[in-house]
Amino acid sequence: MREASTGLLVELDPGSNVTDLLLEQHAKDPVHALYSRKGPAGWADVSAQQFLDQVRALAKGLIAGGITPGETVAVMSGTRYEWTVVDFAIWFAGGVPVPVYETSSASQIEWILHDSGARRIFAEDEAKAGLVRQVLDSSGLLGGTVLPVVRMDYDGAAPNLASLAAAGTGVGDAELERHRSTAGLADVASLVYTSGTTGRPKGCEITHGNFALVARNIVLFLPEILRQPRTRTLMFLPLAHVLARAVQVICLSAGTTVGHTASAKELLEDLASFKPTFLLVVPRIFEKVYAGAAHKAALAGKERLFESAATVAIDYSRALDAAARGAGPGPGWVTRAKHALFDRVLYPKLRQAFGGQLGYTVSGASPLSSHDAHFFRGAGIPVLEGYGLTETTAPCTANTPTRTRVGTVGIPVPGTTIRVAEDGEVLVKGIGVFKGYHNNAAANAEAFVDGFFRTGDLGSLDAEGFLTITGRKKDLLVTAGGKNVAPGPLEEKIREHELVLQAVVVGDGKPFVSALISLDPEGLENWCAVHKVPAMSPAEARGNDQVRIALQRAVDEANALVSKAESIRSFVVLDADFTVESGHLTPSLKLKRAAVVRDFEAQINRIYG
């Protein structure tokens, strides 16, 4: 199949915008908890009325400060409740929010402020406000532009959210409504800058229609998740990323109560207290939970029991998947019996790690290994993998509770068409596809063909319209022998090993394929404890024979997926980590392959002599 579509489920008034979603929820039930905030005494609900009042107060402050409809306003903050309040306040004032990752460097901040033309900026705290002021003071691009910097707190000296709200007390409701209702579905709602795996980030013009139409249609597309009583989710992915932001708007449309976690370090503790009914997750979280569970079992002398439980979970899920594809009858009675046993004694402990109320998880941002997808589904934590980009306002395909095929990223979401070009590139047309790149006519000319957005990803569609992503066009390696190699599947398989944090397959123009591997310090500590090996640092582990033997097994398992010409012949263990701070990962944890190859050129050259 070369093309698949899903029809639109609901249309919206062209004159409406994303703020109408909040007004609809308020009109429906003003006391309903749209959000919940973590405090010293636990989680405290924020009603639709309370949230709307806070949004209106800040919006009036922006209007009093001279904001004009269509004006861009930057927001630099980690994931927190105040991010959401500021986001909607800018929309109510008729502005266009421009997210800036909290981890952004000075040069990235400078570029985004310059390219977006932002006239003011919200900063999470004094440290980030200070960084912004330093950028403004030293910038050549901004030419001495004076931008008001507002801290996103209610305490301390002005300017902050409290002083901004106080400044707007003289703005009337009619003036606020004039600003709020200026934009329609076709107007730009946000400039979202790509993470920049190569080159400078490009500003994607996401419209009110992109956010609102995706939100309203996804709610109807996933009723088992979003249209149930008292749905709750915990947001911990960066709100500067379009995936988290789009999901937050979807949750607003559904009336789902949203909590925020400041960092992944607090996630497990917050999951236990918040008890979400569904969760947006990146694959690394599944990897960490699996490794942690395996480690606890090994320390308790139950390693074989855990391995058996994992095998049963995977077999059970694979049998369900085969039945869904019409290739089998489902789990046999032996598998069902074993699964029922582990579902009483072991799987509930794993589910409790997610709060105990989790019905579904949605995985996005990067590829999920089929091993983890099958394991967690078999253990009673269904994983629905989806696919999307900044340019598609995140989700353009998704698996659903009733239509799931592990290893695929699902079917087109409503109002979307997926086409696979002759060269295998995935093309997208639909309600989520952005308006275009800001101030970048050249990029826009390259980005579209026949009205479809060119994703740069390679994939295939099966007979039922399920999309499988096989790699990135620009990541495809061509060896000196002319063999095309997709590095993604090899890297995903190697990363399943508890010792591995990241794996990067290289070999473009080389006589054979090799890999760069970085070690996971926590995984290494656990591995040493289980195998009764003296504790060692990642630097010491690089030369340890037992570690290399374990890594070779992981590489051998990856090689089993491909032909001999595509297999990894050699690998090197790096005394380094790939992080956002090192410049090797994007804030959404995607690998910056070009940066890795550039920075570790010496190690790669040693592999090939």
- CA 75 from centre of chain: 18
CB 43 within 8 A of CB 259: yes
Average pLDDT over residues 223-229: 94
Work out the mean pLDDT of the chain and round it to a whole number: 90
> Does residue 511 surpass a pLDDT of 90?
no
CB 342 within 8 A of CB 313: yes
> What is the Cα–Cα distance from 36 to 84, expressed in whole angstroms?
12
- Report the predicted TM-score, pTM, of the whole model to 2 decimal places: 0.85
Per-residue pLDDT tens digits for 583-594: 787 766 677 777
Of the candidate ranges 52-66, 237-251, 320-334, 571-585, the one whose mean pLDDT is the lowest: 571-585
Top mean-pLDDT range of 98-112, 165-179, 227-241, 523-537: 165-179
More confident position, 409 or 142: 409
pLDDT of residue 338: 94
User: Both tokens of residue 215?
Assistant: 């939100």
Q: Which residue, among 102, 94, 109, 99, has the nearest Cα to 77 in the 3D structure?
A: 102
Per-residue pLDDT tens digits for 390-403: 999 989 999 999 99
> What is the Cα–Cα distance from 284 to 113, expressed in whole angstroms?
31
pLDDT of residue 199: 60
Per-residue pLDDT tens digits for 542-569: 888 888 898 899 898 888 887 777 889 8
Helix (H) or strand (E) holding 12: none
Above pLDDT 90, what percent of the chain? 58
Average pLDDT over residues 402-428: 95
> Does the CA dihedral 93-95-97-98 come out positive or negative?
negative
Per-residue pLDDT tens digits for 244-277: 999 999 999 999 999 999 877 788 889 989 999 9
> Does residue 135 surpass a pLDDT of 60?
yes
Per-residue b or e along 505-524, where b marks 16 or more CB atoms closer than 10 Å to that residue's CB: bbbeebebbbbbbbbbeebb
pLDDT of residue 195: 63
User: Both tokens of residue 48?
Assistant: 């639709």
